[in-house]
């Protein structure tokens, strides 16, 4: 006895559509079996349209990707080269009106820095950068600052970046990011530009800045108290290529 899909004991080509004469649809919900697939395996079509097996690596964290030949396979993901790396984490308990992080390396194309700063007296906190252990105190900085939605104050050709308006002994919390305009190789050379969000008591300031130096990689970051009081706190710096 035969049907539309058999002839002389052999199965004829058919499409497995919803039509009975085509064998009906395949049920992949724990019904259709394979002779060689196992737990987690998948299939793909090669250039000739023949189905091939993708063997599941069964390794936690592996992902499905294309190999060098464009064939899908399970593999361990390659860590991104764009990840952020903490390159400094420093504390200071007092004894100086400056708080400097020196000898930074691998600064790449971008920097992020976060700080919590205290003051030994009523003061205002400012920022400078440096190269090779020498902080730049020349008139090479420009910045704009607005505090509590006040009018923007603009300064250019000055020797610092102001982070707050007026003096206070309250702690300062800040988070900043900086583009070094470096080559993609991450040499850290270029005009430096960035933004900083600053909180102090009931005061919030937003600062944009530029440091006009494009000679060699940035290696130093210095926060300091303008009026000379001791500065304390914690500073962390991250870099990304």
Give dist(CA 29, CA 27) in Å, integer: 6
Q: What percentage of the chain carries pLDDT values higher than 70?
A: 85
- Specify the pairing of strand 141-147 against strand 134-135: unpaired
Chain length of the chain: 241
Using the CB atoms, write b or e for 180-207: b if 16+ within 10 Å. bebeeebebbbebbbebebbbeeeebeb
Q: In whole angstroms, what is the distance from residue 201 CA to residue 167 CA?
A: 12
Average pLDDT along the chain:
85
Tell me which of 155 and 26 has the higher pLDDT.
155
Nearest residue to 179 (alpha-carbon basis) of 130, 239, 100, 137: 239
Please indicate whether residue 174 or residue 4 has the higher confidence score (pLDDT).
174
How far apart (Å, rounded) are the C-alpha atoms in residues 238 and 83? 10
* Listed residue (115, 135, 114) closest to 220, CA to CA: 135
pLDDT, average across residues 196-202: 95
pLDDT at 24: 77
The mean pLDDT value for 19-41 works out to 77
E strands, 132-191, are: 134-135, 141-147, 153-158, 161-162, 172-179
pLDDT bucket at 113, cuts 50 / 70 / 90 = very high
Instruction: Between 7 and 113, name the one with better pLDDT.
Output: 113
pTM: 0.66
The strands making up 203-211's β-sheet, listed across from edge to edge, are 85-92, 231-240, 110-119, 172-179, 192-200, 203-211, 141-147, 153-158
Q: Domain coordinates of the chain in residue numbers?
A: 85-240
**pLDDT(183) > 50:** no
**So what's the pLDDT on residue 160?**
97
Mean pLDDT check: name the lowest of 45-59, 111-125, 151-165.
45-59
What does the pLDDT read at residue 108?
72
What gap in Å lies between CA 239 and CA 111, rounded to an integer? Answer: 5
For residue 20, pLDDT beyond 80: no
Specify the pLDDT at position 60. Answer: 82
Q: What is the pLDDT of residues 123-167, one digit of tens each?
A: 999 999 998 899 999 999 999 999 998 889 999 999 999 999 899
- The answer on pLDDT for 76 being more than 80 is yes
Distance CA 220, CA 217 (A): 9
pLDDT in tens, 81-110: 667 889 999 999 989 999 999 988 877 778
Q: How many angstroms separate the CA atoms of 75 and 21, rounded?
A: 42
Q: Evaluate whether the domain defined by 85-240 bears CATH number 2.60.120.
A: yes
Of residues 1 and 22, more confidently modeled: 22
């Amino acid at each position: 006895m035969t049907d539309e899909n058999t002839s002389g004991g052999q199965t004829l080509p058919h499409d497995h559509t919803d039509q009975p004469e085509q064998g009906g649809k395949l049920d992949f919900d724990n019904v259709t079996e394979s002779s060689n697939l196992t737990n987690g395996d998948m299939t793909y079509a090669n250039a000739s349209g023949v189905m091939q097996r993708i063997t599941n690596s069964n390794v936690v964290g592996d992902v499905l990707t294309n190999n060098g030949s464009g064939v899908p396979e399970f593999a361990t993901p390659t860590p991104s080269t764009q990840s952020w790396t903490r390159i400094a984490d420093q504390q200071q308990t007092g004894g100086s009106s400056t708080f400097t992080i020196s000898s930074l390396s691998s600064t790449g194309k971008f920097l992020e820095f976060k700080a919590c700063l205290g003051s030994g007296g009523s003061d205002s906190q400012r920022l400078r950068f440096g190269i090779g252990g020498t902080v730049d105190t020349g008139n090479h900085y420009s910045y704009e600052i607005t505090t509590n939605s006040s009018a923007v104050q603009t300064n250019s050709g000055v020797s610092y970046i102001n982070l707050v308006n007026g003096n206070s002994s309250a702690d300062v919390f800040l988070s900043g990011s900086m583009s070094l305009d470096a080559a993609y190789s991450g040499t850290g050379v270029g005009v430096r530009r960035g933004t900083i969000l600053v909180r102090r008591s009931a005061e919030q300031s937003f600062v944009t800045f530029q440091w006009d130096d494009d000679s060699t990689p940035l290696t130093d970051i210095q926060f300091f108290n303008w009026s000379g009081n001791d500065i304390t706190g914690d500073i962390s710096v991250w870099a990304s290529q």
